[in-house]
Amino acid sequence: MSDNQYPVKSLIKPNIILDMKRIILLLAVIIYSLPVLSQTEEIELKNLSDKYASGEITLEQYRKMGKDWQDLIKFFEGFPTLPVNKEYNQVEFINMFEFPNTDKQIIYDRIMEWSAINFGNLSSVLHYSNFENGKIILKGFFEIYYTEDFKLFFGGKQEQTSKVRCNNTYVFTIKNNKLKMEVQDLIYHYFYRSYLVGSTYIPASELDQPIHTLYPITNSDPIEWKGRLDLLKQTNTLLSLQMLSLVKFINNRPFDYDF
C-alpha cells in the first residue's frame, strides 16, 4: 500500500426502528463527556446522531463511534478548529501585521524575496503583483507529514506517517506599514505510487482534494478519523509557522545588510 493511500471504506446500513428518546439521551452522554465544543465538533456529533436516526448505524455502533471520537479528541487535545469564511463556507486564514519604521517598499520587496525562497521560481507561482496597489497574489505550497491508520489485509490496523502537498493561494495586501496576509483555496495533492495486488498491477495516480471535503470527518470510515484530524491539525500549525516566518523575514531586513 502506498504511504498516502486511503484505507478501504465500508458502510453498514442495518434496518432498525429507532427510539428518539434513546437517541437524545445517548447524544447528551457523548456531548457531556467531551471537552468544550466548537460549532464544528457539534456538527460532527450531530452527524453521528443523524446516522443512528436514519438507521445507517446500530445503537452499538453509535456508542462505539462516539467513544472512538471522544478518545481521538482527547488524544489531539481538542478539535483542530480552522478559521472559516462563513460567507463562502471555506477555510480561510487572514492575519494582520504591523511593522513600525518599515515602509511599504521594504515590505513589498521582502514578501517577494520570501516567496522566492519558499516557492522557487517566482515566474511559476506569481499570479499578480502591483506595488502601487500594494497587492501580491501567488500560488504557494508546503508539504505536510501526518499520522494515519490503515486497514491490514488480514484484519486489524496499523499506524503510518504519510506525506501530502498542500497547494494554496496567498493574497498579500500592503497599506503603509501594515500587511494583511490571506491564505485560501487550500487543496491537498496526493500522489499514490504504483503497487501490486497479487498479480494485478495498480498504476501510479494523483488526486486533488480541497480541504473542505474532509468535513464532516465522521462521514468517513472511523479508521480515517485519526488521519483527517492530524492532517487538519498539521495544516493549522504549518500555516501559522509560515506566517511567523514571513514576519520574521521582514523584521530581519536590517540584519541582512549589517555587514
* 82-256 has CATH 1.10.3130.10 classification: no
What is the model's pLDDT at position 120? 86
List pLDDT tens digits, range 144-198.
Answer: 999 999 888 777 888 999 999 999 999 999 999 999 999 999 999 999 888 887 7
Per the CB < 8 A criterion, the answer to whether 223 and 7 are in contact is: yes
- Residue 244: all three cell numbers together: 511567523
Q: pLDDT tens for residues 2-41?
A: 444 333 333 333 333 333 333 333 333 333 333 333 347 8
Beta-carbon contacts of residue 176 (< 8 Å; ≥ 6 apart): 103, 104
DSSP tag of 251? H
Instruction: Note the helical H segments in the chain.
Output: 20-33, 39-53, 59-75, 104-119, 122-125, 225-251, 253-256
Domain ranges of the chain: 82-256
Residue 33 C-alpha cell reads as 463527556
Residue type, 24: I
pTM of the model: 0.79
CA distance 256 to 23: 63
Annotate 156-219 with DSSP letters as a single string: SEEEEEEEEEEEEEEEEEEETTEEEEEEEEEEEEEEE--EEETTEEE--EEEEEEGGGG-SGGG
Report the distance separating Cα 23 and Cα 77, nearest Å: 26
Q: Which among 79, 73, 72 has a CA at the least distance from the CA of 223?
A: 72
Percent of the chain with pLDDT over 70: 85
Pair 135, 172: CB distance under 8 Å: yes
CA dist., res. 204 & res. 202, Å (int):
7
160 neighbors 146 (Cβ within 8 angstroms): no
Given a contact cutoff of 8 angstroms between Cβ atoms, the answer to whether 13 and 56 are in contact is yes
- What distance in Å separates the CA atoms of residue 175 and residue 135, rounded to the nearest whole number? 9
Measured CA to CA in angstroms, residue 167 lies from 135, 175, 189 at distances of 20, 26, 7
In the predicted model, is pLDDT for residue 68 greater than 80? yes
What pLDDT is stored for residue 78 in this prediction? 92
Please say if the pLDDT value at position 208 is more than 50.
yes
Going by C-alpha positions, the residue among 151, 160, 175, 150 that lies closest to residue 97 is 175
